[in-house]
Chain A
Amino acid sequence: MSDELTSSERRAIEAWLPMPPPAGFADRVLAAREAAPLPSRPRRRVAAAAIGAAVAAAAVAVVVVMRPGPARAPQAVEPLALGGAPVTTDAGPAPIADAPPARRPLAPTTADLRVPAGDGGTIHDPRGRVSLELEYAGQCPNGAVVEVSPGAKLAPLPPVRGRDSVILELDTGRWAYTVECETTPPSPVLAQGEFLVVRDAADRPLPAVAATKTIDADGRTYRISYQRTPPSLRVRGQRTNDPTYRLRVSGNGVEQIYDAQGPTFVVPAFTLREGTYALRMDDGPGAKVTTVVIERDWTAPQVSLRSPGVDESWGGELVVEGMALPGWSASIDGVEVPKDSDGTFSARLLVQPGAKALAIRVVHYTRGVHYYLRRPGP
């Protein structure tokens, strides 16, 4: 007899769901890694090469300086050289000009967004047409050919060739790509990925507080989606001759009871998280059970950029400010931009002329990678 688990035993052990990684876990790991550089990591060589490339390209040199938000406790300013370790100073804010040069220009002068081959995600672009630079430097001695497969209703793109990178002009829609080194015979696929380009300025404000939804205890089913946090519910019932009213809310394994002097009840925000709930007022025989389904609306905006505005002119210092809903973490060229408790984030950049666009990378561990673009105005 086989010792392996049977299918029913396997189903049973699958009931044990694991703990998912917390939001921003990758940022935490990378910050810890920076704080304790590891000997096997050839940091200096890479940094020197990158700085050389930056000088040769005469492109932008960018320094990010974190600006403590108003809600954050007073703390030492943490100047961040892009790609470098956070440096805490007791001497107050360090002048931007004194910070070390960036390892690589973050805002490319050759395209709107530069990513390594193999990357993918959603690009939120106010214009809806993105020039995307795919990099594979050092991977293909004779260059590579990139084939792009468009989604439905999109015009096909011809294959693009380049030595260390290629630039793809992508309209709104879904685009899959493969990168193959130019060899004889043809080499296997070096990298592949997929981007979704959406026309989105991401400038709509996000709700700062939980919403309040009003429903009637009339036996119907209500489907309530929320954008930021589980809403509060205002439940209205029929007036009776009783001096007091009672509402029972059951779901997710618990029952909650609310008493009131009138036929209106308020279930506070955060009380009912995602799930299905049965609401019943004790108003005599034939009391109706109202069903409420609460779910998070992932199609609603999750990130809002307040600064820079669309086509705002950039001159020297650039302030990036925005807000991201819980679960999302923002970074600029690998440097995490910390969020305050209310979800707002801010960073100060020094951008030299020539940058085509700035990309803020925002990640959610289940919703994937999103890039939010801003281009300088005239």
Chain B
Amino acid sequence: MLPAVRPAALADPDELDAPTLARAIAGDETAARVLVERYQARVFALVSRMLWRRGRATIEDVAQDTFLRVFAHLARFDPRDEAKLSTWILTIASRRAIDELRKKRPVVDATGELEIAGIERADTRAKRRELIDAIERALADLSPELRAAFLLREYHGLDYAEVAKALDIELNTVKSRLSRARTALREALAEVHDE
């Protein structure tokens, strides 16, 4: 009789398992591919929102560079010290995106370029665009660090301590910055709803 399969309560399905991580650190190509495929959506989610007005090419370049940096420093990642590999990777991605935001680059209207194709009513799509514009405008007025703090907290679920560590800032600073970001967001959303 087949023994009952033990539920993998200890393994986080969203994270890379320990053996694959070990093989990726050792230079195994297959494991490296698994790592990229496991985390690429989250990296793109963060980087694309950070660099929304820099266009698709810049976003792809920064995402790629993020993973190159991940592999360059992967041997230093210690699961016993770090909370999650995803948090560590998002830290690298946010810092790389902040660097990119500090560079003077032409701004492009990326809303149409980056919009997700799909079945959607025209009025729903228009409303979505309006909301995206409002959120993006609100965040565009913030510093790159503040923008990153907001995205890591609200879209990626990092707690305050993780955001503080990712951006190398004080915990209280994170809280105050996020409060300012939320205020800016609420004002932007109110403008949309008032229209």
Q: Which residues of A contact B (CB under 8 A)?
A: 3-5, 9-10, 12-13, 15-22, 25-26, 28-30, 32-33, 36, 38-43, 46, 83, 115-119, 136, 138-139, 147-150, 156-159, 176, 178, 180, 188-192, 250-254, 273-276, 293, 295, 333-334, 363, 365, 369
Contact = CB atoms under 8 A, between A and B. Distances in A.
Interface stretch (B84-92, B127-135, B140-148): B127-135
Interface string B54-77: 001001100110011001111110
18 contacts: A4-B182, A9-B189, A12-B189, A15-B131, A15-B135, A16-B132, A19-B48, A19-B59, A25-B60, A25-B64, A116-B34, A139-B22, A188-B11, A189-B11, A191-B17, A276-B119, A365-B40, A369-B37
Given A21-B41, A192-B8, 9 more contacts: A4-B182, A20-B44, A41-B75, A180-B6, A190-B18, A191-B20, A274-B117, A275-B120, A363-B37
Nearest to A40: B75
Nearest to A31: B64
Contact of B27 (A41, A117, A250, A293): A41
A157 to B, nearest CB: 7
Contacts of A116: 19-20, 23, 28, 30-31, 34
Contact of A46 (B8, B27, B67, B72): B27
B19 A118 contact: yes
Interface of B: 1-3, 5-6, 8, 10-11, 17-20, 22-23, 26-34, 36-37, 40-41, 43-46, 48-49, 56, 59-60, 63-64, 67-68, 71-76, 114-120, 122, 125-128, 131-132, 135-136, 154-155, 178-179, 182, 185-186, 189
B71 A41 contact: yes
Contacts of A5: 154, 182, 185
A293 to B, nearest CB: 8
Contact of A16 (B8, B59, B136): B136
B68 A29 contact: yes
Given A32-B64, A42-B27, A16 B19 contact: no
A18 B118 contact: no
Nearest to A158: B2
A4 B175 CA distance: 10
Most buried by A among B37, B49, B76, B186: B37
B60 A22 contact: yes
A38 B68 contact: yes
B37 A119 contact: no
Nearest to A36: B68
Nearest to B116: A17
Contacts of A252: 120, 122, 125
Most buried by A among B36, B135, B185: B36
A13 B30 contact: no
A188 B8 CA distance: 8
A59 B32 CA distance: 24
Given A19-B44, A20-B116, A21-B63, A190 B125 contact: no
B118 A274 contact: yes
B8 A156 contact: no
Contacts of A117: 19-20
A3 B5 contact: no
